[in-house]
A and B are shown apart, each in its own frame.
Chain A
Amino acid sequence: MASTNDPFQFQEFEEAGNLLEANRNATTISIEDDDIIPEKQRQAAGFSPDDEDALASDDKTELLSGLKKSVPFWTFEYYQRLFDVETHHVKERIIGSVLPWPGKNFIHVYLRKTPDLYGPFWICTTLVFAIAISGNISNFLVHLGKPNYKYTPEFQKVTIAATAIFSYAWLVPLALWGFLLWRNNKIINLVSYSFMEIVCVYGYSLAIYIPAVVLWILPYEWLRWCTIVVALCLSGSVLVMTFWPAVREDHPKVIIAIMSAIVVLNVLLAVGCKTYFFSKPQALPADKSAAIEVTKAPSTT
């Protein structure tokens, strides 16, 4: 049937068929057309099957990681990639940040090279509104029944809360990332985190504060301090366990400096929010500005 005189004889299939017959256990990748050409070239060069396997897996991983080629950050596709998560991913990450397990590094276990911006952004936004609303409710409950108290929704507190939380969740990771980059130039580190991964860890570590802030509505000081301590321990341990491998090989002074900076900033944020937004149960002063002065200087703790 195959007449080689006929110029229209389709010859490609025959060639491939002959090659496969010669090399029955050749690994063939059938993902894209790009794969077939290097495949054929390797077979033409006459490699043994073992080398071929190693090369095939090398090529496959290189091609797969090459599929995620970097897109410039001013395109929409760059940000779409950062939102490439599903509902159960977000749920797992939130649970992982709320219940830290010693040895389970958040970035390695949960993020696995795919940080997302959905979690950090919406957790921060929820926390901002939770703080503003809970602070408002707790103020109302504290002053309930007092004759000269006038309820006000205090919407300006939303902007203050938003500034505080978003700067913590974005500027501190920026500073930390810059610092780690600078240290990486001096000391070779096996572990290095990208900026998005650090932002992701910080965003998810704020998730524990949302139930804590709701609990602060109840005007009991001991309850508020208990929840603050628990939330600080959980979120602080997530952050410390995540960044420990990145600074482990460094000078001891630098390790202590970084770890204490991470913890201290966390404490400042929590205590600052509690002090500013949640007033202590005490006598209602005559006008509102005095109330803010008193809550800012807790000398009567």
Chain B
Amino acid sequence: QASADANRPFAGLSDVSISEDIPVEGDISVPVGPSARRDDEFSTLDEPVKETVLRDLRAVGKKFVHVLYPKRSTALLRDWDLWGPLLLCVTLALLLQGGAADSDYQGGPQFAEVFVIVWFGSIIITINSKLLGGTISFFQSLCVLGYCILPLTVAMAVCRIVLVAGSGSVSFAVRLVVVTASFGWSTFASTAFLADSQPANRKALVVYPVFLFYFVIGWMVLTFSPSQ
């Protein structure tokens, strides 16, 4: 008898019984109380429009600060947005207008040419870095490249102001220094964000197209000649 019992597994559990003085009851409903308030926290449909616009503007502004003081942080990468690059591209293209008003002579690129160079160039650089095995996503890369145009846009504004004062060789020297400094700043800022996503033996292969991109934009900024 004992061996038969030992052979059967789980032999000792067949005589478990629930004692009657332990209550088997309770409340299994989910507390409904503050759910109405919680819905308000997540839904942004009811907030005033000013609040929505200000929130996006604050995000864009925070990223501008990140570009101006580039540290190896992931804030730009994590929450990418393309509002900033669009704003910068439109500003740059508008500042590059108003060149020589003659129909034959072009003082600067057309509005559409600036757009094409900036966006098409960013897309090609992004595809290049993804083909080389980069871990950054497509829109994150577009976001970084677009935001790092900020120093060059600032340089364009400075150049326009300097050109109002005069367009001799002194103003050219000043513009050259400003554009060179901002070109270096742009390249340095974008490589600070992009370099971590590439394997070490290909970093130069990814940095060179970025260098070429900002060089061409810097060239457009420097050679802008105003109407006389």
Residue of A88, A150, A153, A287 contacting most chain B CB atoms (<10 Å): A153
Tell me the chain B residues, 79-113 only, with Cβ under 8 Å from chain A.
100, 104-110, 113
Q: Are the C-beta atoms of B105 and A88 separated by less than 8 Å?
A: no
Q: Are the C-beta atoms of A87 and B201 separated by less than 8 Å?
A: yes
Q: Given known contacts A80-B133, A118-B132, A122-B208, is B201 in contact with A86 (CB within 8 Å)?
A: yes
The closest CB in chain B to the CB of A81 belongs to B131
Q: Are the C-beta atoms of A136 and B223 separated by less than 8 Å?
A: yes
Please report the C-alpha to C-alpha distance between residue A155 and residue B109 in the assembled complex, in whole angstroms. 6
Tell me the chain B residues, 197-228 only, with Cβ under 8 Å from chain A.
201-205, 208-209, 212, 215-216, 219-220, 223-225, 228
Q: Which residue of the partner chain, among B109, B131, B219, contacts A80 with CB atoms under 8 Å?
A: B131
Tell me the chain A residues, 142-187 only, with Cβ under 8 Å from chain B.
150-156
Q: Give the Cβ gap from B126 to chain A, nearest Cβ, in Å.
A: 13
Please report the C-alpha to C-alpha distance between residue A153 and residue B109 in the assembled complex, in whole angstroms. 8
The closest CB in chain A to the CB of B105 belongs to A152
Q: Give the Cβ gap from B80 to chain A, nearest Cβ, in Å.
A: 21
Contacts of A129 in B (CB 8 A): 212, 215-216
Chain B 19-38: CB-based contact to A (< 8 A → 1; otherwise 0): 00000000000000000000
Chain B 117-146: CB-based contact to A (< 8 A → 1; otherwise 0): 000000000001001110000000000000
Q: Are the C-beta atoms of A288 and B104 separated by less than 8 Å?
A: yes
Q: Given known contacts A118-B132, A151-B225, A153-B225, is B201 in contact with A88 (CB within 8 Å)?
A: yes
Q: Are the C-beta atoms of A87 and B203 separated by less than 8 Å?
A: yes
Chain A 67-110: CB-based contact to B (< 8 A → 1; otherwise 0): 00000000010011011011110100000000000000000000
Q: Does A57 contact B (CB under 8 A)?
A: no
Q: Does A126 contact B (CB under 8 A)?
A: yes
Q: Chain A interface secondary structure, helix, strand, loop or mixed?
A: helix
Please report the C-alpha to C-alpha distance between residue A76 and residue B205 in the assembled complex, in whole angstroms. 19
Q: Which residue of the partner chain, among B108, B205, B212, B220, contacts A126 with CB atoms under 8 Å?
A: B212
Contacts of A154 in B (CB 8 A): 106
Q: Are the C-beta atoms of A150 and B201 separated by less than 8 Å?
A: no
The closest CB in chain A to the CB of B209 belongs to A122
Q: Does A133 contact B (CB under 8 A)?
A: yes
Q: Are the C-beta atoms of A153 and B220 separated by less than 8 Å?
A: yes
Q: Give the Cβ gap from A157 to chain B, nearest Cβ, in Å.
A: 11
Q: Give the Cβ gap from A133 to chain B, nearest Cβ, in Å.
A: 6
Q: Are the C-beta atoms of A153 and B223 separated by less than 8 Å?
A: yes
Contacts of A155 in B (CB 8 A): 106, 108-110, 113, 220
Q: Does A125 contact B (CB under 8 A)?
A: yes
Q: Give the Cβ gap from A1 to chain B, nearest Cβ, in Å.
A: 26
Q: Are the C-beta atoms of B212 and A152 separated by less than 8 Å?
A: no
Contacts of A153 in B (CB 8 A): 106-109, 220, 223-225
Please report the C-alpha to C-alpha distance between residue A84 and residue B30 in the assembled complex, in whole angstroms. 56
Contacts of B205 in A (CB 8 A): 85-87, 90, 118
Q: Are the C-beta atoms of A150 and B108 separated by less than 8 Å?
A: no
Tell me the chain A residues, 19-67 only, with Cβ under 8 Å from chain B.
none
Q: Give the Cβ gap from A261 to chain B, nearest Cβ, in Å.
A: 31
Please report the C-alpha to C-alpha distance between residue A289 and residue B201 in the assembled complex, in whole angstroms. 49
Extra A-B contacts (14), CB below 8 Å, given A118-B128, A126-B212, A153-B223: A86-B202, A87-B203, A87-B205, A122-B128, A122-B208, A125-B212, A136-B223, A151-B225, A153-B220, A153-B225, A155-B110, A287-B104, A288-B104, A288-B105
Q: List residues of chain A with CB under 8 Å of any chain B CB.
A: 76, 79-80, 82-83, 85-88, 90, 118, 122, 125-126, 129, 133, 136, 150-156, 287-289
Q: List 29 A-B contacts (CB under 8 A).
A: A80-B133, A83-B128, A83-B133, A86-B201, A86-B202, A86-B205, A87-B203, A87-B204, A87-B205, A118-B128, A118-B131, A118-B132, A122-B208, A122-B209, A125-B212, A129-B212, A136-B223, A152-B105, A152-B106, A152-B107, A153-B107, A153-B225, A154-B106, A155-B106, A155-B108, A155-B109, A155-B113, A156-B106, A288-B104
